[in-house]
Chains A and B, each alone.
Chain A
């Protein structure tokens, strides 16, 4: 064996190189842990999270036109939309609108299928509930969105 690799083996150079790598990661600059729930992660706007039925900010009425495209697009068929035609404005209005979060895989097909900007998957990810009953969201819950519970003393 030539001299340099032999010396490397004798002086455990390969082991020392590994040791130096782990040593330098101890510095404070390398810490990237986010202490949840004090520090909440940054989530980007395209994140497919909690669904929300958007409401027209000017008029306050729902933007959903009951076209049923979202229900048809969903692979799991967990959206049910029922509406009736308003005889005055000749437009369909929502009677009941449910979305089952327990089976949703957040694929985004419903969001893409929506012909208006009514159904949106927001970047909200704190959707934990204590029971399955609350997982079928109705129109009111969907329009409000789900604000995380802040624990305060």
Chain B
């Protein structure tokens, strides 16, 4: 279990007597401010250092808080759909999927089979896109300048597919409550298949650049180790959990959509260090391609929208439903009071919970590793702050 986070009292910080200069004291409080190239958004991390070693951290969040959950209380269920894309803006499709599924659970409807396959295809493409952003920015933090551009260049193809399908690249608003509203366009299956054949050699290229590179390995091995017990105790999910050795993936453990009909594996790691998290995410990208190749062959014909009333008024009740977003377990807890607007929408963002593991992971590490560890957690501040 972690040693417990001491709350840093900045006003009464004990850094020795007043006569000592900053060079004499052994403890130093360093502020990695909200504006920083490596914090992946507006995150403020206060580090307590002993020379180069980190003694403790404290994250100050909230710089990107936009009141999304409050907005949810003042919009109808269908109207709230575009807002959830803006939370994890890197993987907007997953957010939409989670929300639509939760409301469908509340309404006790299930999307038709064709809609499920389309949703799975879009979600897996989104997973690859999100992992590509992670790869590029993480490599950039560690100093490799080029994988960023390669990853974004390959991600461009996915965004083109999104644009052709639903009309937007980033804030996709792809799904609706009850299924999908957009029918697949002519050439959707060919595009996805073409992407799969295009992407696998690119993935090999990323690995050639990084996986065996001695500088990469020395920089990421044994950095930010998170033991499986700590993961479970902190509530960490997603690739971070799987890299620590716990084989838990919601797509297999609590299957949703049509994942139970698809054949894929859950990659896990051994040590729970940064290198393992890197390997797990690369392997996940390969598994996503595998899912895509299967799903695209098996899209059944049929309707894409279930019978959902025009004005959605769910019965009184509450429901929690979670999906495996690229960053971890994305959960929605919706309380309905019988009217057209939810009483409460609570989002369980994976990045928010994973960020709490930062303190455990960086204790005893050097300052330069903090940046690597924040990158490996794959946080998106839009999700952390909502």
Contact = CB atoms under 8 A, between A and B. Distances in A.
A47 B168 contact: yes
A128 interface: no
A14 interface: yes
Interface string B339-380: 000000000000000000000000000000000000000000
A46 B166 contact: yes
A130 B324 CA distance: 43
Interface string A99-124: 00000011111001000000001000
Size class of the B contact interface (CB-based, 8 Å): 20 to 34
A43 B162 CA distance: 12
Contacts of A92: none
A21 B209 contact: yes
A117 to B, nearest CB: 16
A48 B153 CA distance: 23
Given A32-B153, A46-B182, A18 B209 contact: yes
Contacts of A86: none
Given A22-B146, A46-B185, A48-B167, A109 B214 contact: no
B298 interface: no
Helix, strand, loop or mixed for chain B's interface? helix
Contact of A47 (B82, B167, B210, B214): B167
Given A18-B208, A73-B79, A75-B83, A46 B214 contact: no
A22 B147 CA distance: 9
A6 interface: no
Q: Which of A21, A48, A74, A109 has the most CB of B within 10 A?
A: A21
B257 to A, nearest CB: 23
A15 interface: yes
A73 B81 CA distance: 12
A18 B82 contact: no
B214 A9 contact: yes
A46 B165 contact: yes
Contacts of A121: 167
A36 interface: no
B127 interface: no
A45 to B, nearest CB: 8
Contacts of B78: 73, 109
Contact of B213 (A14, A73, A75, A107): A14
A148 B152 CA distance: 28
8 contacts: A20-B208, A44-B160, A44-B167, A46-B166, A108-B167, A108-B173, A109-B78, A109-B82
